[in-house]
């Protein structure tokens, strides 16, 4: 697996990462033992950039990742996040970017992960009530204390990115980006490139939709969060299914899988792009890892065709329900 730089101050990660959220939360039933085996297989394949957050579980996903990497910490670039606040029952309590909370959250994450240092520490969502300079100032103190190596932001807007970067170098911005979510191309991605900030693409497979796995909403488990996602509902689902079929058809022509073609398209967007597809199954990790090879096989004509099939705004429905949308691009 090739390595890619995130930012300009030394962070390098595998070209494909692993999103660990679904191993503990949001996407139905989970099996910790199988998830640990999946993480170990990812490391063996060179997929060594792991992404978690304190809010996943809540709290249990960090513990799970910590268990998985306990005897192979040196092989993994570990990213986690703070800022989205939930209680033990999972109730969402809001967003907190206050300096004192930043430090409390980091210490709690270090304990759950069982590590001395977090490689990449993100603000998960921007707290509109706290100046970003204060939040990033507290994050910078964590770097000075040796608790964190590099800083990141998630779903931050262009002006916030500029202000944060002026306080301390931001190595990565994490935002949803895929064939059916191309919004960053006209907003935050140009700013990241101007400032030398890497871009981490979460949900690069459209929360699984682009793989062709879902043909009706009934394919989702009853407690799967995606049932509440506008893109998985009603006429939006029907419209987006046609988009997924376009991915499937092109993948068939290129002798690869839909997931591989979708990830390969992202990898071709630039060496500063690092997708972090999530999976709980070893076979999916093995499949996704081969996207690193597929992207070299895509021609300029292939890329142009995919751009034409998936112009910005092609997907029907918003990325999150209404309340979630208010926290994006701040």
Catalytic positions, please? 56
Rounded to the nearest 5 degrees, what angle is found at the Cα of 286, between the Cα atoms of 288 and 265?
Answer: 15
Residue 50 C-alpha from the chain's centroid: 10
Q: Compute the distance between CA of residue 330 and CA of residue 323 in angstroms, rounded to an integer.
A: 14
Three-state DSSP at 156 gives coil
Rounded to the nearest 5 degrees, what angle is found at the Cα of 199, between the Cα atoms of 193 and 202?
Answer: 155
Q: Compute the distance between CA of residue 59 and CA of residue 56 in angstroms, rounded to an integer.
A: 6
Question: Of how many residues is the chain composed?
Answer: 330
The pair of three-digit structure tokens given for residue 149, joined into one six-digit string: 């190596």
Q: Compute the distance between CA of residue 306 and CA of residue 269 in angstroms, rounded to an integer.
A: 12
Burial of 198 (0-12, 13-18, 19+ CB in 10 A): buried
* Tokens 């992207």 found at: 295
């Amino acid at each position: 697996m090739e390595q890619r730089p995130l930012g300009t101050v030394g962070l390098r990660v595998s070209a494909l990462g692993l999103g660990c959220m679904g191993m503990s939360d949001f996407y139905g039933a989970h099996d910790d033992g199988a998830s640990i085996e999946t993480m170990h297989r990812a490391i063996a394949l060179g997929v060594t950039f792991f992404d978690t957050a304190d809010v996943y579980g809540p709290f249990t996903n960090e513990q799970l990742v910590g268990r998985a990497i306990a005897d192979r910490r040196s092989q993994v670039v570990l990213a986690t996040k703070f800022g989205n606040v939930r209680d033990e029952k999972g109730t969402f309590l809001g967003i907190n970017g206050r300096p004192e909370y930043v430090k409390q959250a980091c210490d709690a994450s270090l304990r759950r992960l069982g590590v001395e240092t977090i490689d990449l520490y993100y603000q998960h969502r921007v707290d509109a009530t706290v100046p970003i300079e204060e939040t990033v100032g507290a994050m910078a103190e964590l770097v000075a204390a040796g608790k964190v190596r590099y800083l990141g932001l998630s779903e931050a807007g262009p002006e916030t990115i500029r202000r944060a970067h002026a306080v301390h170098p931001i190595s990565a911005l994490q935002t949803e980006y895929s064939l059916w979510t191309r919004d960053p191309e006209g907003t935050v991605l140009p700013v990241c490139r101007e400032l030398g900030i890497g871009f981490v693409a979460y949900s690069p497979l459209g929360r699984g939709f682009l793989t062709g796995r879902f043909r009706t909403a009934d394919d989702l488990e009853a407690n799967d969060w995606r049932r509440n996602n506008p893109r998985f509902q009603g006429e939006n689902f029907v419209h987006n299914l046609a988009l997924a079929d376009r991915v499937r058809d092109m993948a068939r022509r290129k002798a690869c899988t839909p997931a591989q073609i979708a990830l390969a398209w992202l990898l071709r967007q630039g060496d500063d792009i690092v997708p972090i597809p999530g999976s709980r199954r070893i076979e999916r990790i093995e499949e996704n890892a081969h996207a690193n090879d597929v992207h070299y096989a895509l021609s300029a004509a292939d890329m142009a065709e995919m751009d034409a099939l998936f112009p910005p705004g092609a997907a029907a429905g918003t990325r999150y329900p209404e309340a979630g949308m208010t926290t994006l691009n701040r």
